């Protein structure tokens, strides 16, 4: 009898105990195929991601996440791929307003005979504001949550990017001739110092300095930009070894390759991201790896301008962190990272005559975690892991071109398209849901872009002063 009483009392006490409480989070994305891009490349076929504020709290199997967390808001991702937001490692967002302006030209002719002239006659703060809005609109709709930018009036770029809820590493361009925003290098450096100080602690914007290239910046200018960047611990963005003429000029002038020249003047370091890296040899690659310089491959732009094919496979083998970028819409002509993934894989297979070169999983890494490494931001973004920023995209897989799916990496690289991106979350905030933009006035942006096209055409028809 005593035993029965004890059992009864135990059962009463057990029922009186409160159920284990769940941890509260702001948002859970649940039920999709979660592609983490973490070091072990975990994939959860029926997974979930829990987010609080701008940070990922947990990633795992749906049952595990739902048993431990409850959320103010839940997104059902059944039938969708859930993955880190794509990282566009090199772009000129405002140049979206020059889309298709001067096609089928070499890089040298394209820049010096058309683009620099068009910029001198058209680029104003308003131009940059609306051009950036157009570029950011296209990128967000295609699942890009972070981009690196090089342009003028970069403070306007930062304002437009932040208002759209997007993450950006945004570099003010430094160049050795009068630019649309500043007419001398001292003015450019002064503007950039103020710009960096203003944005340095912003949660979305990472201000950077962007000397254009070794063929538009003197040794003195390059050293001054590097010194300014290092004074404020800001990233450095630069075009490097993009086309044959650059290497020819560098060897004729300095007796060194572009990479070796930059090393000789103390420019290279773990704060540098070099766009293109097409014409680099084994010695250059060793230097880039030893200095922890990130490289960004831009296959569409390099192909269209006939700049060459970057030796991506060799760069990766040498230990260089290699990301992926679109370049500007004036030389691409879109800002579509799905297209870049597809072309990056196929171009390496073609030039190496090896179908095994640069497999799909490696290309997805270039667009996510390795892209973050190229920008020296892998501790914050690039994979779905607890403690990282909550930059997450959902991609539909129910279209004819997406059905069936055997391998998620192959599907992302070779089959899926930017238009399959359904929902975009940046820093825990939903900026696009079910293809509807929540932070940008799309009709107004498109109308403004059409107005600017008329102005640009008229400006180029006018005789030179």
Residue 7 pLDDT level (bands cut at 50, 70, 90): very low
- In this predicted structure, what is the pLDDT of residue 125? 97
For the CA atoms of 367, 245, 169, 375, the dihedral, rounded to the nearest 10 degrees, stands at 50
- Taking all residues of the chain, what is their mean pLDDT, rounded to a whole number? 94
Q: What is the pLDDT of residues 367-401, one digit of tens each?
A: 999 999 999 999 999 999 999 999 999 999 999 99
Rounded CA separation 132/160 (Å): 6
85-95 as b/e: b if 16+ CB within 10 A = bbbbbbbbbbb
Report the candidate in 91, 158, 94 with the shortest Cα–Cα distance to residue 128. 94
SS3 label, residue 395: strand
Tell me the average pLDDT across 185-212: 98
Give the DSSP letter string of 42-54. Answer: -EEEEEEEEEETT
User: Per-domain residue ranges for the chain?
Assistant: 23-84+389-437, 86-374
Rounded CA separation 373/382 (Å): 8
Tell me the average pLDDT across 276-294: 98
254-289 as b/e: b if 16+ CB within 10 A = bebbbbbbbbeeebbeebbbbbbbbbbeeebbebbb
- In this predicted structure, what is the pLDDT of residue 151? 97
**The CATH number of the domain covering residues in 86-374:** 3.20.20.140
Residue 25, token pair as written in the block: 């989070």
Q: What is the pLDDT of residues 397-411, one digit of tens each?
A: 999 999 999 999 999
- In this predicted structure, what is the pLDDT of residue 105? 83
- Before 404, cis peptide (omega within 30)? yes
Give the DSSP letter string of 238-255. Answer: EEES-SHHHHHHHHHHHS
- In this predicted structure, what is the pLDDT of residue 9? 43
- In this predicted structure, what is the pLDDT of residue 20? 64
Q: What is the pLDDT of residues 111-166, one digit of tens each?
A: 888 888 888 899 999 999 999 999 999 999 999 999 999 999 999 999 999 999 99
Residue 428 pLDDT level (bands cut at 50, 70, 90): very high
Q: Which residues are bridge partners to 167 per DSSP?
A: 146
Residue 331 pLDDT level (bands cut at 50, 70, 90): confident
**Does 462 have pLDDT greater than 80?**
no
**Does 464 have pLDDT greater than 90?**
no
Tell me the average pLDDT across 212-218: 98
In CATH, the architecture of 23-84+389-437 is Roll (2.30)
* pTM above threshold 0.75: yes
- In this predicted structure, what is the pLDDT of residue 103? 86
Tell me the average pLDDT across 55-60: 98
Tell me the average pLDDT across 346-369: 98
Q: What is the pLDDT of residues 232-260, one digit of tens each?
A: 999 999 999 999 999 999 999 999 999 99
Report the candidate in 199, 180, 89 with the shortest Cα–Cα distance to residue 128. 180
Residue 56, token pair as written in the block: 């990922």
- In this predicted structure, what is the pLDDT of residue 306? 92
Query: Percent of the chain scored above 90 by pLDDT?
Result: 88
- In this predicted structure, what is the pLDDT of residue 15? 45
């Amino acid at each position: 009898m005593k035993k029965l009483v004890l059992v009864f009392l135990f059962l009463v006490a057990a029922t009186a105990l409160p159920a284990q409480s769940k941890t509260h989070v702001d948002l859970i994305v649940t039920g999709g195929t979660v592609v983490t891009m973490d070091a072990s490349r975990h994939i959860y076929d029926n997974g979930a991601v829990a987010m609080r504020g701008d940070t990922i709290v947990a990633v795992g199997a749906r049952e595990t996440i739902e048993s431990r967390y409850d959320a103010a808001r839940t997104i059902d991702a059944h039938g969708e791929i859930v993955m880190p937001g794509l990282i566009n490692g090199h772009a000129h967002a405002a140049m979206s307003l020059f889309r298709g302006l001067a096609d089928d030209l070499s890089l040298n002719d394209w820049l010096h005979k058309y683009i620099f002239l068009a910029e001198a006659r058209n680029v104003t703060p308003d131009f940059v504001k609306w051009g950036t809005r157009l570029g950011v609109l296209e990128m967000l709709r295609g699942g890009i949550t972070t981009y690196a930018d090089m342009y003028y009036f970069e403070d306007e770029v930062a304002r437009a990017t932040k208002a759209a809820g997007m993450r950006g590493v945004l570099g003010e361009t430094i160049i050795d001739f009068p630019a649309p925003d500043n007419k001398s290098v001292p003015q450019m450096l002064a503007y950039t110092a103020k710009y960096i100080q203003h944005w340095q602690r912003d949660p979305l914007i990472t201000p950077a300095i962007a000397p254009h290239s070794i063929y538009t910046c003197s040794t003195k200018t390059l050293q001054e930009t590097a010194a300014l960047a290092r004074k404020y611990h800001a990233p450095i963005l630069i075009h490097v070894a993009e086309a044959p003429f650059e290497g020819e000029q560098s060897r004729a002038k300095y007796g060194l390759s572009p990479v070796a020249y930059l090393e000789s003047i103390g420019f290279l370091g773990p704060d540098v991201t070099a766009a293109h890296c097409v014409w680099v040899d084994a010695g250059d690659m060793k230097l880039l790896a030893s200095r922890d310089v990130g490289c960004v491959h831009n296959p569409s732009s390099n192909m269209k301008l006939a700049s060459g094919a970057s030796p991506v496979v060799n760069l990766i083998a040498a230990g260089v962190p290699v990301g992926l970028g679109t370049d500007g819409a004036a030389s691409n002509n879109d800002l579509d990272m799905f297209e870049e993934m597809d072309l990056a894989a196929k171009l390496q297979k073609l030039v190496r005559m090896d179908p095994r070169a640069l497999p799909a999983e490696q290309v997805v890494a270039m667009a996510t975690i390795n892209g973050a490494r190229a920008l020296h931001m892998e501790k914050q973004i690039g994979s779905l892991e607890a403690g990282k920023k909550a930059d997450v995209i959902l991609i539909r897989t129910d279209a004819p071109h997406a059905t069936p799916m055997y391998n998620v990496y192959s599907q992302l690289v070779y089959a899926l398209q930017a238009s399959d991106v359904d929902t975009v979350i940046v820093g825990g905030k939903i900026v696009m849901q079910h293809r509807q933009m929540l932070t940008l006035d799309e009709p107004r942006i498109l109308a403004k872009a059409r107005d600017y096209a008329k102005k640009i055409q008229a400006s180029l028809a006018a005789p030179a002063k």
